[in-house]
Structures are given as structure tokens and as C-alpha cells.
Structure 1
Amino acid sequence: MKLQPTIAALCAAAFFSGGVFAMTSAEQKTEKTRIEAEHKAASDQCKPMKGNAKDVCNKQADGQKKIAMADLKHRAEPTEAHRHDLAKAKADAEYDVAKEKCDDATGNTKDVCQKEAKAMHVKALEAAKVAEVSAKPSSNPSDVADARKDAADKTREADYKAAKERCDAMAGDAKDACVTDAKRKFGQ
């Protein structure tokens, strides 16, 4: 009777550890075919749309494909470089869609939207860089600290640009106060 729980545990362990092993070339080819088919189906759903909605839909379809291909590459060969490429693909796809959505706006609203999209993109890319440096077995604590400091500086700069752009909608003393507050908040 004690053998059944042991067999069940071994079967479960074998089932859940299947993702640890690299994919065969046939599995990779099948997965690529599936990704292409999903991309085509998503792109086909965009065809009846008009204007910027169609552009956003196409960016989403393209982004999903890029993410899926990077994920496939990471699953086929799970290296830190491929994990970084996957994180970058996600950040780039989100940025492309967010930037495309900004085209619906005009004037300062569009500028603010674009700056906020850029700030989100910078945050995601910098987080991926920090994770990449942190995951390297040869990295020492000072390398990780430098990467975090650099990421914080770039993120703060992007956030400041977005905040400053929001101030441009104002005039006079309100604009000056807004810019001063943004400089204080983001250490500029």
C-alpha cells in the first residue's frame, strides 16, 4: 500500500518536470506553425476594422507573435540571454501597442500619452537588464548595485519627462509650480 503514493509522486514529478528539458526540433517546428497560425487568425480579425483601431489590432497581433517566438526560443534553449530577450519582446510589444493607441489623441494629450508609454517601456527594459545582471552567476554585488542604480536613473528620467509633458497643458504660475514639483519629485 505504501508503494502507490510513491508511484503517484514519481509520476507527478515526471509530469511537472517535462518543461525543464529542451524541446526537440519537431516540437519547435510544430510550435512555430501554431504561432504563425495564431498570428494569421489575429491579423484576420483586424481586417474589417478601420482607422487607428485597425492599427492597434495589428500591433497587438504582431506583439503577440514576437512574444510567442521569444518564449519558444527560451523554452527550446532556456538560457538567461533568451529569458532577457523574452522580457524585452514583452516590453517592446507593450510599448508598440501603447504608442499606437496614442495616435487617437491630439496635441498635448498625445504628447503626454507618448511620454507615458515611453516611461513604461524604459521601466520594463531596465527591470529586464537588472534581472539579467542579477541572474549571472559571475556577477558580484557591485555589478547588481550599479545596474539597479542605472535603471533607477533612467526610469526617473523617463518619469520626469512624462510629468513635465503633463505640465505643458497648464499656463502661468500653475505650469511653473507643476514643473517645480516634477523636478523635486524626480530629482532633476
Structure 2
Amino acid sequence: MKKTLSMLVLASASFGFMATAAHADHHMNKITKAEYDAAKKRADADEKVAKAECDKLNGNAKDICQAEAKAAHTKTVAEAEAAYKNTPKAWESARKDIADANHKVAKEKCDDLNGNAKDVCEKEAKAAHEAAIADAKKDKKVSDAKKEAADDKKDAMVKAEKEKCDALSGEEKSRCIGAANAKR
């Protein structure tokens, strides 16, 4: 029973971390300032409603509910901000914020346990958190490397185009070089 409960806690924490991993390659999903503002307002309203529902609960159940409401708010706002800024750094930051919020939820769920079961639950929550942070960093590095590779390819193509221009002279060579530079 204790093992099952800690596995459920880990699974629920991990699910939140895995859900954010889906956004690692979604850097093309840029949103407008108006969409970003609307997402923040919607997140604020949803959090307010969720926390009002939490007020009906007592003890740790209430704490878990409030942490889940905050985590949902954090996820929505962080993803909206990342989509608005649409940079690898913004997506990394969003994933870290979401991982932190999910970690708080997982730790709250561990509070219902005692002894070794609680210790195991907390260690599993910490491991899942550290894994999510490492994935966020890795995905940023991969994204940066892809951008650098694309830039290197583009530079190589421009150099090749310019080399073709060397066979030309005068105005024709100038136009050729201008056209090659325009491909950057």
C-alpha cells in the first residue's frame, strides 16, 4: 500500500513534468501580446475558482488542492510567456517554473505519509524535479545547437554563392555578392 501510494505520488508529479516536455519543440507556437494577456487573465480567474473550491477542504487535502491550483496557474502563465517571447531561454525558464510548481504539489502529497514512506516519497519527488530541470536545460542546449547548425549551414551556402561571384566582374559581381548576402 505504501509503495503504491508513493508510486502514485511520483506518477502524478512525473505526469506534470512529462506534459511540459511536449513543449520543448514547440518554439514555433508564437502568440501575440493580446493572446498572452488573455492567457494570464484566464489563469488568474481559473486559479481563483480553484482556490475557492479548496476552501471547502481541510488539512493537507486543502494544502494539496491549493498547490495544484497554483501549479495549474504557473503552467498556464509560464507557457503563455514562453510562447509570447518564443526563445529557447524562455521555454527553459517556463519548464523550470512548472517543474518547481509540480515539485511543491508532490511534496504536499508526501505530507500525508509517515516514516520511511514519507522519506521515499520526498526523494522520488526530488528526483522527478531534478530530472525535469535537467530536461529543460538539455532541451535549451539542443535548441541552441540546432540554431547554431542552421546558421552555420546558411553561412556556408552564402560563402559558396559568393565564390561563384568571383568569376564575374564589375556591376555584375556587385549584384551577385548582394544577392548572396541577401540569403543570410
RMSD: 1.9
CA shift at 1:21, angstroms?
Answer: 4.6
Q: Which has the larger radius of gyration?
A: 2
Q: Report if aligned partners of 1:133, 1:139 keep a CA contact under 8 Å in 2.
A: no
| Distance (Å, rounded) in 2 between the aligned partners of 1:44 and 1:111 | 31
- TM-score (normalised: structure 2): 0.61
Structure 1 stretches (4+) deviating beyond 6 angstroms?
none
Residue by residue over 1:35-58, the C-alpha shift from the partner in whole angstroms, topping out at 9 and shown as x without a partner, is: 110110111110000110000000
Consecutive unaligned residues of structure 2, counting only runs of 5 or more, are 1-27, 150-184
- TM-score (normalised: structure 1): 0.59
CA shift at 1:22, angstroms?
Answer: 3.7
For residue 61 of structure 2, what is the aligned residue in structure 1?
53
Q: Report if aligned partners of 2:79, 2:94 keep a CA contact under 8 Å in 1.
A: yes
Matched AA of 2:124: E
Matched AA of 1:42: A
For residue 63 of structure 1, what is the aligned residue in structure 2?
71
For residue 105 of structure 1, what is the aligned residue in structure 2?
113
Number of matched residues?
121
Matched AA of 1:131: D
Name the CA shift for 1:123/1:55 in 2 (closer, same or farther; >3 Å). Answer: same
- Between the aligned residues of both structures, percent identity stands at 36
Consecutive unaligned residues of structure 1, counting only runs of 5 or more, are 1-18, 141-188
Are 2:77 and 1:80 equivalent residues in the alignment?
no
Q: Report if aligned partners of 2:92, 2:140 keep a CA contact under 8 Å in 1.
A: yes
Q: Report if aligned partners of 2:47, 2:73 keep a CA contact under 8 Å in 1.
A: yes
